[in-house]
A and B are shown apart, each in its own frame.
Chain A
Amino acid sequence: MAELTYREAVAAGIAQELARDESVVFFGEDVAKAGGVFKTTVGLYDRFGPKRVRDCPISEQAILGAAMGAAMTGLKPIAEIMFSDFLAVCWDIVANQIAKTRYMTNGQISLPLVIRTANGAGSRFGAQHSQSVENWAMAVPGLKVVAPAFPADVKGLLAAAVRDPDPVLFFEQKSLYSMKGEVPDGEHCDELGKARVLREGKDCTIVALAAMVHRALGAAAILESEHGIAATVVDLRSLVPLDTQTVLAEVARTGRLITVEENPRLCGWGAELASIVAQECFWDLEGPIVRVTTPHVPLASADLLEDHQVPSVDRVVRAVREALS
């Protein structure tokens, strides 16, 4: 086991896959020589050279279009979109082309590509550089969607994404780049579509994703020590494929679901989960399903405002206590 930061795990994951498979290539804006604006890809250019690690112009449509063209003709590209907000700039390529082409061509075209991007708030970058947009991708059929919360999962799920034969959007949470965590030594490849139960408690099930996983864990600790409430915490890890079995099992056990989502309120990923639980687990529910989300407004830049908007540990604690009262 080694201790890596979340950002180091990104580079480690890409490096592992570049080393393993000659058809893997990596490109994006400022990713090669500069090592990435978030310093997530430091060292890759030096190790693998300009043929496999490429800098691109500011051309999101060209970047993802090229990823698609390369993927359909024998390569396994990893493309970076610097801020997940910029996916809107090339959303045609993501939603109309990449997501739909295998289906429209009845299986003729394969697109084994990964789009990795820096997602989420907390860095005071303002409304257009702080969004969590994994729910956009979840809403388009034909895209796999992953959002790791821990360095080990960054490496393991990125490897799994690269090896997956389908297009995967890999959402890194920029507020987590500095966090440290244990990462297994040697080759590490995890599995898409598998949630992880991080903590067991009989009173409620809190399901969270990416940065909100840590808020959920913090809240669970306070709930236990100060309020005698034992919470189960589930790290969803993938939105598509969605590990509904784990969530349903945990909610059946505890009778309660609380989600913690960084998306704005409407159509966050938790809405779908709540709907599935309400339909398939209704007769095990002790009380209403509660979603803790960012309010349905753009994110503000001032630190006080942004911190108030994104679900905090306190807000999760309060929501759980209210739900159980």
Chain B
Amino acid sequence: MALTSARRPEAAGAPGAADAVIDRETRLALYRLQLELRYCEKRAYDLFLQNLIKGTSHLSLGQEAIAAAFGVAMRPDDWTFCTYRGHAHTLARGASMAGVLGELMGRQIGLLGGKGGSMHLTDVSHGVMGSYAIVGAHLPIAAGAAWSAQYRGSGQVAVCFFGDGATNIGAFHEALNLSVVWKLPVVFVCENNQYMEYTPIGTVTAVPHPAADRAAAYNLPPILVDGNDADAMYAVAVEALRRARAGEGPSLIEAETYRHSGHSRADPATYRPAGELDEWMKRDPLVRYRARLLEQGIGEDVLSGMEREVLRKVDEATQAAKSSPPPSIDDIEKNVWADGGSAWRN
């Protein structure tokens, strides 16, 4: 039984949507980015059904507001560390759609040249320092990047996205402890989508809010926010980034959200109670944000125009990815070492 499914995701202890003053340009950027994340992820789903994407993919449909909010709030030289459910986080930093779709399809145009796949999307030129497939592994890695920024005095911040399930693994605790002790400029963002793979998070966690309720253990304030409200997320993001850049140390944010699909491609998610998905679909972040923008006086034509444009962008990227050839067999021996090769002997 999911303990949190019936709870209203009000922002408890976090700056509310009402308090934040976010200008029009930023709001449009937030909406546009969420559109790109949603449409591209949907396209990935379609390509999978056409058997153009092999293996497995972990879709974040429904969780776009979190990645988009940080995508708008972060500096270009900040770093993102995300999980294997990281297509959106990668795109949100400006990585090319053709690169993302191409990587999922195993083509040369892919961000990783077909070497890494869906679970390891990386785009260093846009600050995406890896998507990580071992739960929790990237939290200490993000802490290390933050240490580098602190050491060099660069003002960069590492933002680390992970799921509710990661809060129970050892690396989570080690990373938080170290980050607080060293006062590192890192923001830990828990996307609580209510399920740890196939299991409701509440049945395997000692506390109701898997991240926010652990904050005190690390001498951090709890931050609980509606992960499906882009404005609320944006406000929280801006504050956490400010705090890190000012040398005040890390933040731990729990964003409540829901994923529309199963854990992975293979998962039809029949473990979810009847009606739960419908409830959360009503709180679909894009639907809500669109309505809010219209309320705030943004014209329908602006929004539709944006939607058409993003769809076109996704179509172009899809085409580019489909036309790209698969990688060469020679790539197998490349890039184990910095010299581009893989020799282990003379």
Contact = CB atoms under 8 A, between A and B. Distances in A.
Interface of A: 25, 51, 54, 56-57, 59-75, 77, 92-93, 96-97, 101-110, 112, 141-142, 165-166, 193, 240-245, 276
B54 interface: no
Nearest to A77: B144
Interface residues of B, number: 55
A102 to B, nearest CB: 6
Contacts of A61: 137, 140, 170-171, 174-175
B346 A245 contact: yes
A166 B338 contact: yes
Given A92-B137, A97-B134, A72 B120 contact: no
B123 interface: yes
B129 interface: yes
Contact of B146 (A69, A110, A112): A69
B338 A97 contact: no
A165 B341 CA distance: 13
Given A73-B129, A97-B132, A106-B115, A68 B144 contact: yes
B42 to A, nearest CB: 26
A141 B171 contact: no
Interface string B125-159: 00001101110011111111111110110001010
B26 interface: no
Contacts of A93: 137, 140-141
B122 interface: yes
Given A59-B178, A75-B148, A244-B346, A107 B334 contact: yes
A56 B143 CA distance: 13
A66 B143 contact: yes
B337 to A, nearest CB: 5
B141 A103 contact: no
A232 to B, nearest CB: 19
Interface of B is mostly: mixed
B340 interface: yes
4 closest A-B pairs (Cβ-Cβ)?
A69-B144, A65-B140, A66-B144, A165-B338
Given A73-B129, A101-B130, A241-B345, A64 B140 contact: yes
Nearest to A67: B144
B294 interface: no
Given A65-B144, A166-B337, A104 B137 contact: no
A67 B148 CA distance: 9
A105 B145 contact: no
B96 interface: no
B219 interface: no
Interface string B332-346: 001111111011111
B183 to A, nearest CB: 12
A54 B151 CA distance: 12
Contact of B140 (A51, A69, A104, A242): A69
Given A66-B143, A66-B144, A97-B141, 10 more contacts: A56-B178, A59-B140, A61-B137, A62-B175, A72-B144, A74-B148, A92-B137, A105-B124, A106-B335, A165-B339
B116 interface: yes
Q: Which of A25, A62, A240, A242 has the most chain B CB atoms inside 10 A of its CB?
A: A62
Contact of A109 (B117, B122, B174, B343): B122
Contacts of B182: 54
A62 B346 contact: no
A73 B79 contact: yes
B198 to A, nearest CB: 22
Given A104-B112, A105-B122, A71 B140 contact: no
A155 B337 CA distance: 23
14 contacts: A65-B138, A65-B139, A69-B81, A69-B148, A72-B145, A97-B132, A104-B115, A105-B112, A106-B112, A108-B112, A109-B129, A165-B339, A241-B343, A244-B346
Contact of A65 (B120, B141, B335, B342): B141
A109 B134 contact: no
Contacts of A70: 144-145, 147-148, 151
